[in-house]
Amino acid sequence: MKLEDMLKKDQLMYLERYVNDRKYADYATFSEVKNIYHPIEGKNSFMLGYTDLKKEDNYKVLLANPDKNLSIKPNRFYIHPEMLPDFEKDSGLRRLTQIDGYMEVSPTSSTRTVWPVNNYGYYVKTHLDRRISRYIRRVRKSSVEHSIKISRDIEEATDAPKEFGFLPETVGLTYGSIGQIIRETEPRPCVYEKRMLIPYFSLHSKDMKNPDDEPLMVQMIKEKCAEPNNFFVEQLIKPVISTWAFFAQNRGILLESHGQNTLLELNYDLEPTRVVHRDFQSLMVDFDIRRIKGLHTNFEKHILGREDNISTKQNYSFVYDWFLGHYLFDKMIECMVKHFNSDEKKIKGSIKEVFNEQFKDQFEFFPEKVYGFTEEFGEDNKTYLKIRQDEPDYR
């Protein structure tokens, strides 16, 4: 994609699907979902059925300050087509096969999260009991509750850095053991200036339909006639680390700031304004930090030190060193080396300096080594970690 094409119309959905290097993880192309629903191989859109639940269905709606202009029915449960055969066999969920209507949607980079083609105000994260990459992408009732609590908490962080933004998850709906999440498309805190979003993976990825175009971040650097390494670190990397560090140290929330969950916000002068975060379903929470800061600990899952026999320090390394470092920074630096002949060691040193500025003397959060995924897929979405590097590259 040409950078100037970003100014013509909203290109986010195109970027989500076709300017997306699916090789950022060895297993990223694995999917149990039919190709027709796949972000890259799939059709432009498909029909998503829904059931309007009634009071006697004992559903539950959870809210996190939804936009008053959001045009949705809180009791409308959307059913991914893949799940209809499963629900038909499950007496507890068979009610969801009574389809009341359909909505045309397009898959985002996350197969289970879809965008209503004729409505620009929200995304729907559907329950999809299929393995995509490492995890089964179901949405349990407890996950809906966690996402809504996280969204509320993040919005309360009015002292967050000015370069921070997020896509709020404002309406949760649960029925039986499963649920869905409505994520709004307008970043908060709200601004009145017209802006655009680029997923971080699209900054370094090739455009699959226009492979001769340079990666967007290369075009941005050339457009601004900027010194490449300085622009890269100061404009693209530092805001990611500063926002991640703020929420870790001040709210006890570990943002999963890899290339899919993190978006770069630009104004129409093509200048970076904020880093926008999304997807709160599996964010880890540090109760020790929250108690020190006088914050509530009313979370029921994803609590550091209490899940999958992984220590708190290992989880800090996993989320920072592996999600940010391996999945995002490594790929972006590869792009810098290829297009600007940048010194990899020097850039990594600059990123370490940014990290040190943000965490100062609070290195007790982290282990000496780097922890990342093992090669095996965990049963029931369990995470298994192992030491992947003896020394961290980015701290």
| 199 shares its domain with 50 | no
Is 234 a domain residue? yes
Does 202 lie in the same domain as 142?
no
Q: Count the Cβ atoms, other than its own, within 10 Å of residue 375.
A: 8
- Provide the CATH number for the domain around residue 332: 1.10.510.40
Same-domain check for residues 253 and 164: no
Give the residue numbers spanning the domain of 76.
Answer: 31-189
Kindly state whether residues 310 and 181 are assigned to the same domain.
no
Same domain, 241 and 363: yes
User: Picking from 20-29, 251-260, 338-347, 359-368, which range would have the lowest pLDDT averaged per residue?
Assistant: 20-29
Q: Is 24 contained in some domain?
A: no
pLDDT score of 340 more than 50: yes
The contacts of residue 332 (CB under 8 Å, 6+ apart) are 200, 203, 204, 217, 232, 236, 237
* Same structural domain, 236 and 365: yes
> Are 331 and 339 a contacting pair, CB within 8 Å?
no
**Portion of the chain with pLDDT greater than 70, in percent:** 95
Q: Are residues 229 and 343 in the same domain?
A: yes
Give the pTM: 0.94
Strand segments, DSSP code E, in 85-237 are 101-107, 113-116, 122-125, 131-132, 135-136, 164-166, 169-175, 178-184, 195-199
Q: Which one of 189, 220, 244 terminates a domain? A: 189
Which of residues 169, 189, 209 is at a domain's end?
A: 189
Question: How many domains, the chain?
Answer: 2
High-pLDDT (> 90) share of the chain, %: 79
User: What's the pLDDT score for residue 384?
Assistant: 78
CA distance 38 to 108: 9
Residues 221 and 273 in one domain: yes
- Residues 67-103: tens digit of each pLDDT: 999 999 999 999 999 999 999 998 899 999 999 999 9
Whether residue 227 sits in one domain with residue 104: no
**Cα(92)–Cα(90) distance, rounded to whole angstroms?**
5
Query: Are 286 and 144 in a shared domain?
Result: no
Which range, of 19-28, 30-39, 307-316, 378-387, averages the lowest pLDDT?
19-28
Q: Which of 156, 189, 222 is the last residue before a domain boundary?
A: 189
Clarify whether residues 308 and 318 are in a common domain.
yes
Q: Identify whether residues 1 and 74 lie together within a single domain.
A: no
